[in-house]
Amino acid sequence: MLKNDPHFLMYYNSILETIGDTPLIRLNTLADDLEGTILVKVEYFNPGQSVKDRIGLKMIEDAEEKGLIEPGGTIIEGTSGNTGMGLALAAAIKGYDCIFTTTDKQSKSKIDILRAMGAEVRVCPTNVEPDDPRSYYSVAKRLSEEIPNSYYPNQYDNPSNTQAHYETTGPEIWDQTGGAITHYVAGMGTGGTISGVSRYLKEQNEKTQTIGVDSDGSVYKKYFETGEFDKEEIHPYLTEGIGEDIIPGNMDFDLVDKVMQVSDKDAFLMTRALAEKEGLFVGGSCGAAVYGALEYARDNDFGKDDLMVIILPDSGARYVSKIFNDEWMSEHGFLDAE
């Protein structure tokens, strides 16, 4: 049928078909001192408002193909919130139940959203060792062993995480920039986003520079620079979704050229600046990625022929009670007294 036919229909078969093809948007005010082009890939245009929609669908589809979950089964995962949402979207369409474990540092709105999607959420303490039976890693693994017909995606070590970005996010960035990208920047959490995209981009052009952004309090930066896993580097931080106290199987440091570490304060103030100056209402790890990217560009002769793409993983809607709340910011020392 022709589009001017009154009976022509344009629709998707399910919400899952709307995942991906997110836009690139140029930074203007915040990068006006740089000659090159700074673009951000805004992942809150995904239906679950985060980059994790991509891996949620991919991990479940691959599990189905391998027979790791049967109809009516239960998906069990440890998540900071966004991966849970991606899994919950796919589960809603495919008819699975969900149980998610998360940490007590995650925003209440993230937990409420997961419950709104029909998931059971169990909140676990943040400040325990990863192998502690109370940690959200351990609780998720234990539940998956106890509950029949359940599937534990384990986004940290599941190769489908990296593969999702190799198959979708990387090619999108390459096509959207016409192959002109010179620098790729992403936060380092499970490792899937930075590793999958970097592998694809470096296969197209080995000169592409990949800059990882870590949180102050995480082991990644020192491990990248020295190869030493130093527990002394680990301390509590509030930025959600990046940094780790483990080295996940999806984190491929051979695909990273530089790691920038960003404090909570710098991340959150940049997050607010992105909303106020660029109209980008995004989450705290987005602010960290942009802060780290701009610091890198200013320190490394970023020129007029350079083109940088920064992944902005999620929406600011999940952080209204924290990063966008003056009282909360002041209580944590992130705003000046005045």
Catalytic residue ranges = 52
Task: Say if residues 145 and 269 touch (Cβ distance below 8 Å).
Answer: no
Bridge-based pairing of strands 74-78 and 37-42 is: unpaired
Q: Rounded CA gap, 295 and 31, in Å?
A: 10
Q: Rounded CA gap, 292 and 314, in Å?
A: 17
Q: Rounded CA gap, 102 and 92, in Å?
A: 20
Exposed, middle or buried by CB within 10 Å (0-12, 13-18, 19+), for 322?
buried
Give me the torsion for CA of 314, 268, 220, 261, rounded to 10°. Answer: 130
51: its two tokens: 């980059």
Task: Say if residues 194 and 256 touch (Cβ distance below 8 Å).
Answer: yes
